[in-house]
C-alpha cells in the first residue's frame, strides 16, 4: 500500500515537471518569436505631400537604440514618385522614423519671404528651414510595426499658438 502511493506520487511529480518544462519552452519560444525579424514595408507618400522634393532620406531605430537599424536615401532629377515603398527585415515593435526632405532650389524672394514667416508659430512634428539650396524639412514619427505595411505620415501640421506666444 505505501509503495503504491509512492509510485503514484512519483508519476505525478514527473508529469508536473514535464508540464513545467513545456510551459517554460512555450514562454521562451514566444519571447524569441517576437524578436525575430519579419518582412516590413514602410510606405512614404513623398510625391503626394512634397511634389518638389529633390532629395529624400529616412532612417529608423527602436526607442532606446543609439544607432539606426536601417535607412534609405534617394535623389530625384524629376518629380518624386507618389510613394516610396521600402522593404526592411525588422522585429515587430515601436520605431522612431526620422525623415529629411529637400525641396528644389529657392529664389532670393522665396528666401526673404521664409525669413519673414520664420518668426511665426512653430511646427508640430517637423521643422522646415529655407536655404538658397532649397527648403529642408525634417520630420520624426513614432510607428508600430507588426509585419505587413506601415504608412508613414509626412504632412507637417502647424500647431496652434499658445497664449504665451
Q: What is the pLDDT of residues 59-92, one digit of tens each?
A: 999 988 999 999 999 999 999 999 999 999 999 9
Task: For residues 4 and 16, give the distance between their C-alpha atoms in angstroms, rounded to a whole number.
Answer: 18
Task: For residues 68 and 116, give the distance between their C-alpha atoms in angstroms, rounded to a whole number.
Answer: 35
Q: What is the pLDDT of residues 39-61, one digit of tens each?
A: 999 999 999 999 999 999 999 99
Beta carbons of 155 and 124 less than 8 angstroms apart: no
Average pLDDT for 98-124: 57
Quick one: pLDDT at residue 28? Answer: 75
151 Cβ partners below 8 Å, 6+ apart? 43, 45
Indicate whether 100 pLDDT > 80: yes
For 78, other C-beta atoms within 10 Å of its C-beta total 6
Cell 544607432 belongs to 67
Q: What is the pLDDT of residues 116-156, one digit of tens each?
A: 444 433 334 555 555 556 789 999 999 999 988 999 998 76
* Range in 21-25, 67-71, 112-116, 154-158 the model is least confident about: 112-116
Indicate whether 107 pLDDT > 60: no
Q: How many Cα atoms within 13 Å fall on the side-chain side of residue 68?
A: 12
Domain positions in the chain: 1-36, 38-158
Confidence (pTM): 0.63
Q: Select the more confidently predicted residue: 153 or 105.
A: 153
CATH topology of domain 38-158: Immunoglobulin-like (2.60.40)
Amino acid at each position: 500500500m505505501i509503495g503504491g502511493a509512492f509510485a503514484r506520487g512519483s508519476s505525478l511529480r514527473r508529469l508536473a515537471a514535464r508540464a513545467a518544462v513545456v510551459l517554460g519552452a512555450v514562454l521562451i519560444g514566444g519571447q524569441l518569436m517576437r524578436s525575430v525579424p519579419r518582412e516590413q514595408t514602410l510606405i512614404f507618400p513623398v510625391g503626394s505631400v512634397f511634389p518638389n522634393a529633390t532629395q529624400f532620406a529616412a532612417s529608423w531605430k527602436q526607442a532606446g537604440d543609439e544607432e539606426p537599424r536601417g535607412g534609405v536615401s534617394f535623389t530625384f532629377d524629376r518629380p518624386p514618385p507618389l510613394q516610396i515603398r521600402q522593404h526592411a527585415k525588422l522585429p515587430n515593435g515601436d520605431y522612431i522614423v526620422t525623415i529629411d526632405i529637400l525641396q528644389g532650389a529657392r529664389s532670393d524672394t522665396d528666401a526673404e519671404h521664409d525669413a519673414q514667416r520664420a518668426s511665426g508659430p512653430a511646427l508640430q512634428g517637423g521643422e522646415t528651414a529655407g536655404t538658397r539650396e532649397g527648403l529642408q524639412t525634417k520630420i520624426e514619427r513614432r510607428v508600430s510595426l507588426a509585419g505587413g505595411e506601415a504608412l508613414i505620415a509626412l504632412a507637417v501640421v502647424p500647431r496652434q499658438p499658445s497664449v504665451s506666444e
